[in-house]
Structure 1
C-alpha cells in the first residue's frame, strides 16, 4: 500500500470527478430510459424496461435521423480535422510574426457566442441585396434554406478547425528541429518532409483530435438548432442529439418525454464508446503506448 499510496492519492481527484460527472449521470440516464417518466407521469412514473428502446426502433423517422447524424458527424469531422491540420501546417511554415496573428484571427469564431455567430451567418446567407453570398454569386436566395447541410457543416467546421489547429501546431513545434535539418540535408521537399517526418509524429494528436471531435459532434446540436431548428421541412437536418433534446426538454406538444429522451441519450453513449474503440484500433493504440526500445538523450 505504501508503494501505491502516492499514485492513488494523485488519481483520487480525477476519479471523484469522473464518478460524479460521468459514471453517475450515465447510470441515472440508463435508469430513466427504462421508465415512462414524462410531464404527465412525473409524480408517478412506471418501470417499462426496454419499451422506450422498442419505440425508437419502431419510429419510422429514426432511420432518417440516424443518417442525418452520420452525415453531420462525418462531413464536419473531415472539415474539422483536415482543415485544422492544414491551418497548423501553413501557419507553422511561415515566420511566427505572421503565424501567430493568423491563428488568433481564426480563433475569433470560437470565442464569439453561438447566437451572435449564427446571426452573422444568417446575415451572410440572406437574399440579395442583404446577403453577401447572394450578391457575390448573383443568385438571390436564402442559402440556409436552399443548402442547409452545406451551411451547417461550414459553420461548424470554421469553429471546430481552430481546436485542431492549436493542438497540431503545438505538436509540430515540439518536433525536434534536428529532424527537419536532417530532412533538408537529404534533399527532401516540403511535401516529403510533411509526409515522412511531420505526419508520422502527429499520430497521437490526430487520434486525440479525431476522437474528441467525433464525441463532441455526436452530442452537439446548438448550431443546427439556431440555424435551421432541424428543418427546413420535416427532419431535414435533425440529428440524434437534437431530437433527444426536443423529446426530453422542448416538446412542442407540451408533454416532454424524459424517459424516451434518456433512451436516445443512452444509445448515443453506446455509439460514442464503440466509435472510440474503433479509433483506438484504427490508430493502433497499443503501438502508440509501447515503451520505445531505444531512447536517445
Structure 2
C-alpha cells in the first residue's frame, strides 16, 4: 500500500506539473509572443538599421557608426530638444496628468454620484474624440486673429486691443496645456476608482472626530492613493516621452524647433528628412531613456512592495 501511495503521489505531482506548464502556455504564451514580435524584434531591427546608411532611397550601401558619433557630439540641436522634452514631460505630468487629474477626482467624488458621473463623462469626450477634432478646437481657441475664441473673450470682456498669438509667444505652454487637459482624464478615472474603494467608515469616523475636508483628504484619501499615483506617474511619463501626435497637429514642432520634443525630432529626421539610419539611432536612445525612467520610477516609488505576495492569504 505504501508503494501504491507513493506512485499515486508521483502521478499527481506529474499531472500538476504538466497542468502548470499547459496553463502557462495558454495564458502567457500569446502575451510573450506578442511582446517578442512587436517589441523585441523591432528593437533588434532598429539596432541593425542604426548602423547602416539607410536613407530615402531605402538602400544600404555600407555599415557605419557615424550616426552615434553625430548623436554624441555632432547634432547641435539635440541638446535643446532634450531640454524641451524634459520641460514638456515634467510640466505636463506634474501640473495636469497627476495633479489636475487628482483634483478632478476629488471634486467629482465629493458631490453626488449623478453629477460627478456626468462631469467625468463630459471630461472624457476629448479623449474619445478623434485627435484631429480635438486639435481643431484648440486651433480655433488660440487663433491669433480677432475671431479666435480666446481673443474674442479677451477683447470683449477685458478690453484687449491687440489679439494674442500664443502659437508664437508661448508655444511651450500651449503644448503642455493642450496635452495636459486630455491627459488628466486617465488620472481622473484611476483616482476616482481608488477613492471609491476607500472604506466609507473611515470618512465617517474622521468627521465624528471633527476632521475637516482638507484633513480628510490629507490623512485618509492621499495615503490610500499612493499606488495609483505611482502608477499614473510612471505610465504617463513613459507615454509623454514617446508621444507627439497632438504637438504635430497643433504646432508642427514650430515655430522652427521651439516645440519639437525628442520623439517628434526622431520623426522629422527619419520621415521628413529621409535619414532613416540616424532616426533609428535616435530611437534606440529613446528606448534606453524610457527604460531608465521606468527603473527610476520603480525604485523611487518602491513599486516592488505593490507586487509582493500578501502577508495574509485568504482561502
Same fold (TM over 0.5): yes
1:186 equivalent among 206, 209, 230: 209
Number of equivalent positions: 290
Deviation at 1:290, TM superposition (A): 3.2
User: What's the Cα RMSD here?
Assistant: 1.9
Structure 2: distance between partners of 1:289 and 1:43: 47
Deviations 1:126-161 (A, max 9, x none): 234201222333241322222111111111011100
Look up the match of 1:111.
Answer: 128
Contact 2:53 2:60 in 1 (8 A): no
Structure 1: distance between partners of 2:206 and 2:307: 26
Structure 1: distance between partners of 2:68 and 2:208: 61
Alignment of 1:15-30 (within 5 A): 15-30=32-47
Deviation at 1:294, TM superposition (A): 5.2
Structure 2: distance between partners of 1:113 and 1:260: 31
Which ranges of structure 1 fall in alignment gaps of 5 or more residues? none
Are 2:177 and 1:160 aligned?
no
Look up the match of 1:13.
Answer: 30
Look up the match of 1:273.
Answer: 291
Contact 1:247 1:260 in 2 (8 A): yes
1:73 equivalent among 86, 89, 105: 89
Deviation at 1:100, TM superposition (A): 0.5
Contact 1:122 1:144 in 2 (8 A): no
Contact 1:211 1:279 in 2 (8 A): yes
Which ranges of structure 2 fall in alignment gaps of 5 or more residues? 1-16, 155-159
Alignment of 1:148-227 (within 5 A): 148-227=171-250
Are 2:305 and 1:287 aligned?
yes
Alignment of 1:18-167 (within 5 A): 18-40=35-57, 42-48=58-64, 50-57=65-72, 58-78=74-94, 79-137=96-154, 138=160, 139-167=162-190
Deviations 1:55-112 (A, max 9, x none): 1222111100111111111101112111111101110111111001100111111122
Deviation at 1:184, TM superposition (A): 2.6
Structure 1: distance between partners of 2:102 and 2:216: 15
Secondary structure at the aligned position of 1:107 is classed as helix
TM-score, with length taken from structure 1: 0.92
Q: Which stretch of structure 1 is more off in the superposition, 188-197 or 80-89?
A: 188-197
Structure 2: distance between partners of 1:150 and 1:286: 35
Structure 2: distance between partners of 1:219 and 1:53: 20
Select the structure of larger CA radius of gyration.
2
Structure 2: distance between partners of 1:201 and 1:258: 47
Q: Which stretch of structure 1 is more off in the superposition, 87-96 or 21-30?
A: 21-30
